[in-house]
Amino acid sequence: MNRETKTALITGASGGIVYELAKLFAQDRHNLVLVARNADKLNQIAAELHGRFGISVKALALDLAAPTAGAILFQQLQRENIAVDCLVNNAGFGGFGEFANMPEEEILGQIQLNVTALTHLTRLFLPGMLSRRRGKTMNIASTAGFQPGPLITVYYATKAYVLSFSEALANEVAGSGVVVCCFCPGATNTGFAKRAGTENSRLFKKIGAMKAEAVARDGYRGLMAGRTLVFRASRIGWWRSRCDLLRERW
Protein backbone atom coordinates (compact mmCIF):
# COMPACT_ATOMS: atom_id res chain seq x y z
CA MET A 1 0.00 0.00 0.00
CA ASN A 2 1.23 3.49 -0.87
CA ARG A 3 1.52 5.96 2.00
CA GLU A 4 0.17 8.69 -0.31
CA THR A 5 -3.08 6.78 -0.77
CA LYS A 6 -5.68 7.15 1.96
CA THR A 7 -6.16 4.06 4.07
CA ALA A 8 -9.09 3.16 6.30
CA LEU A 9 -8.67 0.71 9.17
CA ILE A 10 -11.98 -0.95 10.05
CA THR A 11 -12.44 -3.30 13.00
CA GLY A 12 -15.20 -5.87 13.38
CA ALA A 13 -15.35 -5.84 9.61
CA SER A 14 -16.91 -9.24 8.92
CA GLY A 15 -20.44 -8.02 8.20
CA GLY A 16 -23.33 -5.72 9.05
CA ILE A 17 -23.00 -1.95 9.11
CA VAL A 18 -19.23 -1.91 8.80
CA TYR A 19 -19.29 -4.16 5.75
CA GLU A 20 -21.44 -1.49 4.13
CA LEU A 21 -19.09 1.21 5.44
CA ALA A 22 -16.14 -0.64 3.92
CA LYS A 23 -17.86 -0.54 0.53
CA LEU A 24 -18.34 3.22 0.84
CA PHE A 25 -14.68 3.79 1.73
CA ALA A 26 -13.63 1.57 -1.18
CA GLN A 27 -15.94 3.43 -3.53
CA ASP A 28 -14.16 6.65 -2.53
CA ARG A 29 -10.81 5.02 -3.37
CA HIS A 30 -9.57 4.30 0.15
CA ASN A 31 -7.34 1.30 0.58
CA LEU A 32 -8.59 -0.88 3.41
CA VAL A 33 -7.24 -2.74 6.41
CA LEU A 34 -10.00 -5.02 7.68
CA VAL A 35 -9.77 -6.65 11.10
CA ALA A 36 -12.04 -9.35 12.57
CA ARG A 37 -11.80 -12.78 14.15
CA ASN A 38 -13.37 -14.76 11.30
CA ALA A 39 -10.52 -15.24 8.82
CA ASP A 40 -12.60 -17.01 6.15
CA LYS A 41 -15.30 -14.34 6.12
CA LEU A 42 -12.73 -11.57 6.22
CA ASN A 43 -10.79 -12.97 3.26
CA GLN A 44 -14.01 -13.36 1.30
CA ILE A 45 -14.92 -9.71 1.88
CA ALA A 46 -11.39 -8.56 1.06
CA ALA A 47 -11.43 -10.42 -2.27
CA GLU A 48 -14.86 -9.04 -3.10
CA LEU A 49 -13.92 -5.41 -2.40
CA HIS A 50 -10.61 -5.67 -4.23
CA GLY A 51 -12.27 -7.19 -7.27
CA ARG A 52 -15.17 -4.75 -7.31
CA PHE A 53 -13.34 -1.49 -6.60
CA GLY A 54 -9.72 -2.20 -7.54
CA ILE A 55 -8.37 -0.94 -4.23
CA SER A 56 -5.82 -2.67 -2.00
CA VAL A 57 -7.38 -4.63 0.86
CA LYS A 58 -5.43 -6.16 3.73
CA ALA A 59 -7.32 -8.70 5.85
CA LEU A 60 -6.04 -9.35 9.36
CA ALA A 61 -7.65 -12.09 11.44
CA LEU A 62 -7.18 -10.82 14.98
CA ASP A 63 -9.15 -11.05 18.20
CA LEU A 64 -9.11 -7.50 19.53
CA ALA A 65 -10.42 -8.73 22.88
CA ALA A 66 -6.90 -9.96 23.59
CA PRO A 67 -5.05 -7.31 25.64
CA THR A 68 -2.03 -7.27 23.32
CA ALA A 69 -3.98 -7.26 20.04
CA GLY A 70 -4.08 -3.49 19.59
CA ALA A 71 -0.32 -3.15 19.94
CA ILE A 72 0.28 -6.09 17.59
CA LEU A 73 -1.95 -4.50 14.95
CA PHE A 74 -0.33 -1.08 15.31
CA GLN A 75 3.21 -2.45 15.13
CA GLN A 76 2.44 -4.56 12.06
CA LEU A 77 1.06 -1.58 10.16
CA GLN A 78 4.06 0.51 11.18
CA ARG A 79 6.42 -2.18 9.89
CA GLU A 80 4.54 -2.22 6.59
CA ASN A 81 4.63 1.58 6.37
CA ILE A 82 0.84 1.88 6.31
CA ALA A 83 -0.44 5.20 7.61
CA VAL A 84 -4.04 5.04 8.80
CA ASP A 85 -6.05 8.05 7.65
CA CYS A 86 -9.43 6.78 8.85
CA LEU A 87 -10.01 4.57 11.88
CA VAL A 88 -13.38 2.90 12.34
CA ASN A 89 -13.71 1.33 15.79
CA ASN A 90 -16.60 -1.08 15.50
CA ALA A 91 -15.53 -4.37 17.10
CA GLY A 92 -17.83 -5.14 20.01
CA PHE A 93 -20.67 -7.33 21.28
CA GLY A 94 -23.52 -7.43 23.76
CA GLY A 95 -25.08 -10.05 26.00
CA PHE A 96 -28.66 -10.40 27.24
CA GLY A 97 -29.59 -11.46 30.76
CA GLU A 98 -29.58 -10.41 34.39
CA PHE A 99 -26.23 -8.98 35.39
CA ALA A 100 -25.96 -11.08 38.57
CA ASN A 101 -26.37 -14.29 36.57
CA MET A 102 -24.19 -13.41 33.59
CA PRO A 103 -20.84 -15.22 33.31
CA GLU A 104 -17.97 -13.04 34.45
CA GLU A 105 -16.02 -13.71 31.27
CA GLU A 106 -18.89 -12.33 29.19
CA ILE A 107 -19.13 -9.19 31.32
CA LEU A 108 -15.41 -8.52 31.28
CA GLY A 109 -15.16 -9.48 27.61
CA GLN A 110 -17.67 -6.80 26.66
CA ILE A 111 -15.74 -4.18 28.60
CA GLN A 112 -12.43 -5.30 27.11
CA LEU A 113 -13.65 -5.20 23.51
CA ASN A 114 -16.23 -2.41 23.58
CA VAL A 115 -14.25 -0.03 25.79
CA THR A 116 -10.61 -0.97 26.33
CA ALA A 117 -9.74 -2.07 22.80
CA LEU A 118 -11.51 0.94 21.28
CA THR A 119 -9.70 3.33 23.63
CA HIS A 120 -6.34 1.67 23.01
CA LEU A 121 -6.64 1.76 19.22
CA THR A 122 -7.68 5.39 19.31
CA ARG A 123 -4.67 6.23 21.49
CA LEU A 124 -2.33 4.36 19.14
CA PHE A 125 -3.51 5.87 15.85
CA LEU A 126 -4.64 9.37 16.84
CA PRO A 127 -1.14 10.89 17.38
CA GLY A 128 -0.18 10.06 13.78
CA MET A 129 -3.29 11.78 12.49
CA LEU A 130 -2.57 14.83 14.62
CA SER A 131 1.03 15.03 13.42
CA ARG A 132 -0.17 14.91 9.79
CA ARG A 133 -2.97 17.36 10.64
CA ARG A 134 -5.55 15.19 8.91
CA GLY A 135 -7.49 12.08 9.66
CA LYS A 136 -10.83 10.75 10.82
CA THR A 137 -11.85 8.45 13.65
CA MET A 138 -15.32 6.96 13.83
CA ASN A 139 -16.25 5.27 17.10
CA ILE A 140 -19.42 3.26 16.70
CA ALA A 141 -21.63 3.51 19.75
CA SER A 142 -25.40 3.04 19.64
CA THR A 143 -28.65 4.74 20.56
CA ALA A 144 -28.19 2.49 23.62
CA GLY A 145 -25.59 5.00 24.82
CA PHE A 146 -28.26 7.54 25.72
CA GLN A 147 -30.11 5.52 28.37
CA PRO A 148 -29.67 2.59 30.76
CA GLY A 149 -30.60 -0.87 29.48
CA PRO A 150 -31.83 -3.41 32.03
CA LEU A 151 -31.05 -7.01 31.02
CA ILE A 152 -28.40 -5.80 28.59
CA THR A 153 -26.80 -3.64 31.24
CA VAL A 154 -23.12 -3.88 30.41
CA TYR A 155 -23.55 -3.33 26.68
CA TYR A 156 -25.57 -0.13 27.22
CA ALA A 157 -23.00 1.11 29.74
CA THR A 158 -20.11 0.48 27.36
CA LYS A 159 -21.86 2.44 24.62
CA ALA A 160 -22.44 5.33 27.02
CA TYR A 161 -18.68 5.34 27.55
CA VAL A 162 -18.00 5.39 23.80
CA LEU A 163 -20.38 8.33 23.39
CA SER A 164 -18.85 10.37 26.23
CA PHE A 165 -15.27 9.50 25.26
CA SER A 166 -15.81 10.43 21.61
CA GLU A 167 -17.53 13.75 22.29
CA ALA A 168 -14.82 14.80 24.73
CA LEU A 169 -12.06 13.74 22.34
CA ALA A 170 -13.68 15.64 19.48
CA ASN A 171 -13.49 18.76 21.60
CA GLU A 172 -9.81 18.16 22.39
CA VAL A 173 -8.82 17.84 18.72
CA ALA A 174 -11.02 20.64 17.38
CA GLY A 175 -9.10 22.82 14.92
CA SER A 176 -6.37 20.22 14.39
CA GLY A 177 -7.62 18.95 11.03
CA VAL A 178 -8.65 15.65 12.67
CA VAL A 179 -12.29 14.58 13.02
CA VAL A 180 -13.61 12.37 15.81
CA CYS A 181 -17.13 11.16 15.09
CA CYS A 182 -19.40 9.06 17.27
CA PHE A 183 -21.92 7.10 15.22
CA CYS A 184 -25.03 6.00 17.13
CA PRO A 185 -27.22 3.68 15.07
CA GLY A 186 -30.42 2.17 16.39
CA ALA A 187 -31.69 -1.36 15.80
CA THR A 188 -30.27 -2.58 12.50
CA ASN A 189 -30.47 -5.84 10.58
CA THR A 190 -27.06 -7.33 11.38
CA GLY A 191 -25.79 -10.34 13.29
CA PHE A 192 -25.69 -8.35 16.54
CA ALA A 193 -29.18 -9.21 17.81
CA LYS A 194 -28.65 -12.94 17.40
CA ARG A 195 -25.29 -12.81 19.17
CA ALA A 196 -26.74 -10.70 21.99
CA GLY A 197 -29.91 -12.77 22.33
CA THR A 198 -32.21 -9.81 21.63
CA GLU A 199 -33.65 -10.81 18.24
CA ASN A 200 -37.06 -11.53 19.80
CA SER A 201 -37.15 -8.33 21.87
CA ARG A 202 -39.81 -5.68 21.41
CA LEU A 203 -37.20 -3.37 19.87
CA PHE A 204 -36.63 -5.73 16.95
CA LYS A 205 -40.08 -7.33 16.72
CA LYS A 206 -42.41 -4.36 17.19
CA ILE A 207 -40.40 -1.27 16.27
CA GLY A 208 -38.39 -2.99 13.54
CA ALA A 209 -34.79 -2.85 12.43
CA MET A 210 -33.23 -0.68 9.74
CA LYS A 211 -31.29 -1.80 6.70
CA ALA A 212 -27.55 -1.81 7.25
CA GLU A 213 -26.86 -0.19 3.88
CA ALA A 214 -28.96 2.90 4.65
CA VAL A 215 -27.57 3.20 8.18
CA ALA A 216 -23.97 2.97 6.96
CA ARG A 217 -24.59 5.59 4.27
CA ASP A 218 -25.83 8.10 6.84
CA GLY A 219 -22.91 7.42 9.14
CA TYR A 220 -20.39 7.78 6.34
CA ARG A 221 -21.88 11.07 5.20
CA GLY A 222 -21.73 12.40 8.74
CA LEU A 223 -18.10 11.36 9.16
CA MET A 224 -17.06 12.97 5.88
CA ALA A 225 -18.94 16.12 6.82
CA GLY A 226 -16.94 16.36 10.05
CA ARG A 227 -19.84 15.74 12.41
CA THR A 228 -19.09 14.91 16.03
CA LEU A 229 -22.31 12.97 16.56
CA VAL A 230 -24.34 11.07 14.00
CA PHE A 231 -27.60 9.64 15.30
CA ARG A 232 -29.59 7.19 13.16
CA ALA A 233 -32.73 5.47 14.39
CA SER A 234 -36.04 4.35 12.95
CA ARG A 235 -38.50 7.20 12.46
CA ILE A 236 -35.95 9.71 13.72
CA GLY A 237 -33.71 11.91 11.63
CA TRP A 238 -29.94 11.95 11.81
CA TRP A 239 -27.09 14.44 12.22
CA ARG A 240 -28.78 15.67 15.39
CA SER A 241 -26.86 17.72 17.89
CA ARG A 242 -26.55 16.49 21.47
CA CYS A 243 -28.71 19.42 22.62
CA ASP A 244 -31.50 18.36 20.23
CA LEU A 245 -31.34 14.85 21.63
CA LEU A 246 -31.51 16.03 25.23
CA ARG A 247 -34.52 18.23 24.49
CA GLU A 248 -36.31 15.25 22.90
CA ARG A 249 -35.63 13.06 25.93
CA TRP A 250 -37.27 15.56 28.24
The one catalytic residue among 6, 19, 159, 220 = 159
Q: Which residue among 155, 156, 161, 220 is the active-site one?
A: 155
Residue 60 bridge partners (DSSP):
35
Instruction: Please give the sequence-ordered ranges of beta strands (E in DSSP) within the chain, or none if there are none.
Output: 7-11, 31-36, 57-61, 86-89, 135-140, 178-185, 229-232
Helix ranges (H only) for 64-199 are: 69-79, 104-111, 118-132, 153-172, 192-196
Q: Collapsing DSSP states into helix, strand and coil, what is residue 230? A: strand
**Contact call for residues 32 and 48 (beta carbons, < 8 A):** no
Whether 155 is a known active-site residue: answer: yes
Q: Report whether 201 contacts 187 (CB < 8 A).
A: no
159 is catalytic: yes
Structural contact between residues 225 and 28, judged by C-beta atoms closer than 8 angstroms: no
Catalytic residues: 155, 159
